Structures are given as C-alpha cells and as structure tokens.
Amino acid sequence: MARSSESVTGALTEASTLAVESIRSQPARSALAIVGVVIGIVTVVLVSSTLVGLRNSVALLFRELGTENIFAFHFNGEPYSAGSTQDVKRPPLRPEFAPRIAQLGPAIRDVGVELIVPAVTGTRAITARAGGNESDSLLIEGISANFYDVVGAEFAAGRPFTEYEERARAQVAVLGASIARALFGQRTSVGQSFLLGGDRYYVVGELQPRKGTFFGENRNDTVVAIPVNTARQKFPDAENTVLYIRAYPGQRDQARLEAATILRLLRNVPLGEPDNFALNTADQIIAQFDRLGFQIFLATIALSAVSLIIGGIGIANVMVISVTERTREIGVRLAIGARRQDVLRQFLFEAALLSGAGGAAGVALASALGLLAAALAPTFPAAPPLWAVVAGLTTSVLVGVVAGYWPARRAAAMDPVEALRYE
C-alpha cells in the first residue's frame, strides 16, 4: 500500500513538474490563454463581495429600526420613493391612528409616528442654516415623542422630544449625526439654534451615527426631526406618514394581524377588499433585498460564463498547440515506458494549472480593485467572501480540466512510432 501511494505521488509530482516547465517556456501564450478566465473570476468575485457587503449593511440598517417592529405605510414601496400608479391613489395613513392602534392591539406595545416633510415647498428647497453654515442635503421628519424609544435610537448628546413639546408644537429639533456636523462642525449641537425654512429651532438632541448603510449612506444621519405636531403646523402639505408598530417580545406575528385588522377598520376598507396599506418587517425587507441580489448574481454568473467559455476555448487552443509541438517528446516518453495515463495526467495538469493561475490572478485582481474602491469610498464593501474565493478558484480549475481533456486524451492516444517520426 505504501509503495502504491509513493508511486501515485511520484507520478503526480512528475506530471506537475512537466506542466509547470511547459507553461514557463511559453509565458506570453499562457497569459493570453487565461485572460477570459481572469475576467470571469474578477466579475464574479467583485459582484459577490459587493452584494454580500451591501446585504449585511442593509440588514443592519433595518434591524437598527427594531426587529420587533412592523412598518405601516400606504405605499407598497419605500417611503422616500415614488409610489406606483395604484399606490398613489391610496389615502395616506394619519398620525391619529397611532394611539388607537396601541390601545386596541393587545400584542402591540407602542406605536411611533414618522411624518415625512417634502424637501421642496412650492419651487424652493428647504435649507437649514446655522451661522455661516448652510445645508440643503437634509431630510425633514415630524416625529412623535415616543418614536426614538420605539426604534431604540442611541443619542450622542441631549434627549428626545417630550410629550409636552409635541402637544405645544415647540420649535425644537433632534439632529442626525451628519447634518449636525454640517451645521455645527465639531461643536456640540445641543443647546444651539438654527434656521429651518425661515423658522428658528433649538437643538435638544443629537443622534449617534447609524451603523447600517446603503452604498455607504444612511439617510437617518441627515434627518432633522421636529415634533410631529410642529411639522403638521409648519408644513401642512406633509401627509406621508409611516407608523412604527412595536410588538411585545415574541408577539410580532400576532401584532401584525392585529395592526392589519385595526387599520382596515380605521380606513373603512370593505370586507373582501384588499388592504390599501402595506405592513412590513425588517426581515421581510431584507428578504426582498436578498431576492433582488440573487437575481443580480444570476445575471452576473451568466455574463461570467461567457468569459469563462472564451477562456476555456483559449486554454484548449493552447493545449492543442502544445500537444502538436511536443509530439516527438510524447513519443519518446511512451517509447521508454511511460503509461498513457501518465501522459493524460501531464496535460490535464497543465490545463488545470493554466486555468487555476487565471483564477488566482482573478481573485487577486478583484481583491485589489475592492481595496482601491474602499480607499476611495471607505464604507464600500471590499473584502470578498471566502465562499466566492473558493468557488472562483474551483471553477477556474474545472474549466481548465474540461478544456484540456480532449487535447490531453489526444496526446495519450498517440502511436509512439508515428510520434517519433513526426517532424
């Protein structure tokens, strides 16, 4: 048994040595043969690392808003996106629904309100200004006093609104981390005042930077939040309302059913008619992103397959040329006792090494491009996942084996006498 394993090891070592020597003797031809493989592997690894990084960031972004929360909105889509033709016909939810839902739902712990204020009033964009600093890269939202408790937001300084400030329509604000830096630089924003749409507001709280991002951005960091009643008074055109329905621990599914029933009653939806609102959870939104990401990944695989096929054809051509050029060498090996399977193994090794080198180069290039993108945009997901690296290298080797099998078999099937006569 030991002698048999030593024989196999020796045969593999000899085959790999001959394959490496052959590739080193024709570096330019070998490099050209694997270009298609390199492009295919770079595409797969880059897209995989981007999708995985985005997925993790999006998952963190929505889980920050509460894993026990249900988001109610009259659109099926995202609140800051334009709704479909059918969606825009639906009446918006109303802030007054929040206490009714919390009161009537046994599994519902609390309900927070987010009123989205249009960024443009008439023909003028709303800006915020503090001293010499001004920003129009902001989002304005009317927030209920309990909102930050419902979503579990973390404060860098200060506090959320009080119920008294909400009832009194006080001109106070809580700032996201990015807009606070834009208006006040490195100074503390709490206790400072700023102008918003011509009115003066006083900052009572500043939020910690959010951890979750989408392409490096978290829009919550740019939000200027004011009490919901203040927003309704100052911006009467604001009507898009999102309700954050917080369930008791372990009762999210029951809370969802209760919220749907209560909203149907409050919105007078006839029996048998579909809901004219949408209820989503963080898990559902993440699952939707996963489905989209999977579709993008399948499209990437299809494009990469074209490059890998082209690379495989290039490797097959190189192996055919190599077999032709080394016909006498093959004849000599067979004449002095080499087995046909040794010749087959040698050329399969050569094809696999060619393609494997292309796969390794593709992974290295994809990693370098990811690091370059991360240097230019620090929040860009740069590290390729381990499964993508392993899959890329394995696929590249398989491409080489498949592409090199016919030339290798042709070499192993040669007649030693005819091969020795070859000029």
Give me the pLDDT at residue 113, please. 94
CA distances for 239 relative to 82, 89, 176, angstroms: 14, 13, 22
Bridge partners of residue 143, in order along the sequence:
114, 227
Long-range Cβ contact pairs of 263-270 (< 8 A, separation 24 or more): 263/72, 263/93, 263/97, 263/101, 266/97, 266/100, 266/101, 267/91
Give me the pLDDT at residue 90, please. 85
Q: What are phi and psi of 344, to 5 degrees?
A: -60, -45
* Low-confidence stretches of the chain (pLDDT beneath 50): 1-4, 6, 8
Q: Quick check: 109 and 248 in contact, CB under 8 A?
A: yes
CA distances for 171 relative to 147, 174, 193, angstroms: 17, 11, 10
What distance in Å separates the CA atoms of residue 292 and residue 295, rounded to the nearest whole number? 5
CA distances for 203 relative to 155, 227, 272, 319, angstroms: 13, 12, 48, 72
Q: In this structure, what is the dihedral angle of CA atoms 290, 293, 297, 298, given to the nearest 10 degrees?
A: 70
β-strand pairing of 172-175 with 199-207 = parallel
State the Cα angle at 178 between 119 and 204, rounded to 5°: 85
**Amino acid sitting at position 380:** F
Give me the pLDDT at residue 267, please. 92
Q: Is the pTM of this model over 0.75?
A: no
Give me the pLDDT at residue 207, please. 92
State the Cα angle at 377 between 374 and 381, rounded to 5°: 50
What count of Cα atoms within 13 Å lies in the side-chain half-sphere of residue 119? Answer: 9
What distance in Å separates the CA atoms of residue 228 and residue 239, rounded to the nearest whole number? 11
State the Cα angle at 296 between 53 and 83, rounded to 5°: 90
What distance in Å separates the CA atoms of residue 59 and residue 57, rounded to the nearest whole number? 5
Among 288, 243, 282, 283, residue whose Cα is nearest residue 116: 243
Give me the pLDDT at residue 278, please. 87
- Residue 322 CB neighbour total at 10 angstroms: 24
Give me the pLDDT at residue 166, please. 92
Q: Quick check: 343 and 333 in contact, CB under 8 A?
A: yes
What distance in Å separates the CA atoms of residue 297 and residue 387, rounded to the nearest whole number? 14
Domain ranges of the chain: 11-60+288-421, 119-237
Q: Quick check: 289 and 53 in contact, CB under 8 A?
A: no
Structure tokens at 212: 């979750």
Give me the pLDDT at residue 250, please. 86
What distance in Å separates the CA atoms of residue 306 and residue 319, rounded to the nearest whole number? 20
Give me the pLDDT at residue 140, please. 92
41-74: per-residue pLDDT in tens? 888 787 777 777 777 666 666 666 666 788 898 8
Give me the pLDDT at residue 157, please. 93
Among 44, 37, 49, 43, residue whose Cα is nearest residue 361: 37
Structure tokens at 205: 């709280």
Give me the pLDDT at residue 147, please. 92
Give me the pLDDT at residue 126, please. 86
